[in-house]
């Protein structure tokens, strides 16, 4: 049953109307990552009346999150509240009619294969390409649309992937600018987040209401600070030999392609290796680290070493990384994705 007053302005928008609003309220959206993109998109979709939202994230709230991750408070920082829990608490106060499923977990192959077949659309709000490539292959396997999104500094990019129709992320990887920059190395301004989210959520609403003819169909990229925007027609980029969307091999679901972690015996250290298909650009990585105010930075022909809080990070030329100061794999992966992956 529609709550006309609550959603009246959305229902008045002709492409949605009452029929579209009913579709929205009967839908299930999976949001992977509840940081800047995930917290903003989840709030928009809860306010829009999405029936069920599953949130998936492994992290807890930190002080540096508050500048751009709008669902969280200083109390969440003080309590080290997991992001999915803090987000659920806030979202349920905004709309008690939406069912929020908070999953405090890594978005790995097993976790995604258990839920993606049951959702209508997936929003990528992650911080690394390892997870995005897994999302890509799981969504291809189960024919689930998903919206890629990323942002750093004043730059953002987004693209809607429709299995069996558009190129997939694997097809367009070479056309996505990637120089190794992360929010921890070059920072980010919050308007960048909101512009990416506006595009992602709009595409979700189009999909949920059956307005597929209105989908962008383009890779959208922008730099707010430089007043630049680019839209790339991607239909011609579909790779006839793509293992993910054409050959249906799904290479990123293979164990050898996934990030490998190991706790080193007796050393209070976690070792991390990227999957076999990932290329590590050591020179780009080194360039961005030099722009960051890191403690005890050291480099030689074989490796780079630096400290972040109580951890020492050592990155070898091939991308193999040691996180000293912890045996917690999730904690080590968090540091890895912030600075290396």
- The pLDDT score that the predictor gives to residue 278 is 65
Q: Strand pairing partners for 103? A: 56
Same domain (yes/no): 299, 190: no
Do residue 233 and residue 281 come from a single domain?
no
* Domain stop point among 217, 252, 287: 252
Last residue of a domain, one of 252, 272, 306: 252
Is 245 assigned a catalytic role? no
- State which residues form the domain around 323: 259-339
Same domain, 292 and 332: yes
- 1 falls within a domain: no
In a domain, 60, yes or no: yes
- 106 with 26, same domain? yes
Q: Which of 23, 168, 183, 242 is catalytic?
A: 183
Q: How far is CA 327 from CA 114, 275, 318, 331, in A?
A: 28, 21, 22, 8
Confidence at residue 21, expressed as pLDDT on a 0 to 100 scale: 97
CA distance 322 to 308: 13
Q: How many CB atoms lie within 10 A of CB 154?
A: 19
Same-domain pairing of 53 and 111: yes
Q: How many domains does the chain have?
A: 2
Per-residue pLDDT of the chain (341 residues; tens, 9 = 90+): 455 689 999 999 999 999 999 999 999 999 999 999 999 999 999 999 999 999 999 899 999 999 999 999 999 999 999 999 999 999 999 999 999 999 999 899 999 999 999 999 999 999 888 899 999 999 999 999 999 999 999 999 999 999 999 999 999 987 776 666 778 778 999 999 999 999 999 999 999 999 999 999 999 999 999 999 999 999 999 999 999 999 999 999 998 878 889 998 778 999 998 876 666 777 877 777 776 777 788 888 888 899 988 999 999 988 889 999 999 998 999 899 888 87
What is the predicted pLDDT for the residue at 38? 98
**Bridge partners for 187 per DSSP:** none
Question: Does 268 reside within a domain?
Answer: yes
Residues 6+ away with beta carbon under 8 Å from 258: 108, 109, 130, 134, 252, 275
Nearest to 204 by CA among 129, 109, 119, 132: 119
**In a domain? residue 3:** no
- 275 and 304, same domain (yes or no): yes
- Both 72 and 205 in one domain: the answer is yes
The Cα–Cα gap between 143 and 120 comes to: 10
* Three-state helix/strand/coil letters over the chain: CCCCCCCHHHHHCCCCHHHHHHHHHCCEEEEECCCHHHHHHHHHHHHHCCCEEEEEECCECCHHHHHCCCCCCHHHHHHCCEHHHHHHHHHHHHCCCCEEEEEECCCCHHHHHHHHHHCCEEEECCCCHHHHHHHHHHHHHHCCCEEEEEEEECEEEEEEECCCCCCCHHHHHHHCCCCCCCHHHHCECHHHHHHHHHHHHHHHHHHHCCCHHHCCCEEEEEECCCCEEEEEECHHHCCCCCCCCCCCCCHHHCHHHCCEEEEECCCCEEEEECCCCCCCCHHHHHHHHHCCCCEEEEECCCEEEEEECCEEEEEECCCCEEEECCCCHHHHHHHHHHHCC
d(C-alpha 80, C-alpha 74), whole Å: 10
């Amino acid at each position: 049953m529609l709550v006309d007053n609550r959603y009246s302005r959305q229902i008045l928008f002709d492409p949605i109307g009452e029929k579209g609003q009913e579709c929205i309220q009967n839908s299930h959206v999976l949001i992977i990552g509840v940081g800047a993109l995930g917290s903003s998109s989840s709030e928009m979709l809860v306010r829009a009346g999405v029936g069920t939202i599953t949130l998936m994230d492994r992290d807890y709230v930190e002080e540096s999150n508050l500048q751009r991750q709008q669902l969280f408070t200083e109390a969440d920082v003080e309590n080290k509240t997991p992001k999915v829990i803090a987000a659920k608490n806030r979202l349920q106060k905004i709309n008690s009619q939406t069912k929020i499923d908070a999953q405090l977990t890594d978005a790995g192959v097993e976790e995604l294969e258990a839920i993606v077949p049951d959702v209508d659309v997936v929003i990528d709000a992650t911080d690394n390409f390892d997870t995005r490539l897994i999302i890509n292959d799981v969504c291809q396997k189960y024919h689930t649309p998903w919206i890629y999104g990323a942002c750093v500094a004043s730059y953002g990019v987004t693209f809607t992937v429709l299995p069996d129709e558009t190129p997939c992320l694997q097809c367009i990887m070479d056309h996505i600018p990637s120089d190794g920059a992360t929010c921890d190395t070059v920072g980010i301004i919050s308007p960048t987040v909101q512009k990416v989210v506006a595009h992602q959520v709009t595409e979700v609403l189009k999909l949920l209401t059956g307005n597929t003819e209105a989908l962008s169909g383009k890779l959208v990229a922008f730099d707010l600070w430089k007043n630049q925007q680019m839209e790339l027609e991607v239909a011609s980029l579909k790779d006839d030999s793509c293992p993910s969307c054409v050959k249906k091999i799904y290479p990123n679901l293979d164990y050898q392609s996934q990030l490998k972690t190991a706790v080193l015996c007796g050393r209070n250290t976690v070792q991390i290796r990227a999957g076999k298909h990932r290329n590590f650009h050591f020179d780009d990585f080194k360039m961005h680290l030099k722009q960051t105010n890191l403690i005890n930075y050291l480099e030689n022909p074989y490796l780079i070493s630096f400290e972040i809080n109580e951890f020492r990070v050592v990155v070898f030329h091939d991308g193999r990384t040691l996180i000293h100061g912890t045996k917690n794999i999730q904690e080590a992966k968090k540091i890895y994705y912030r600075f290396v992956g």
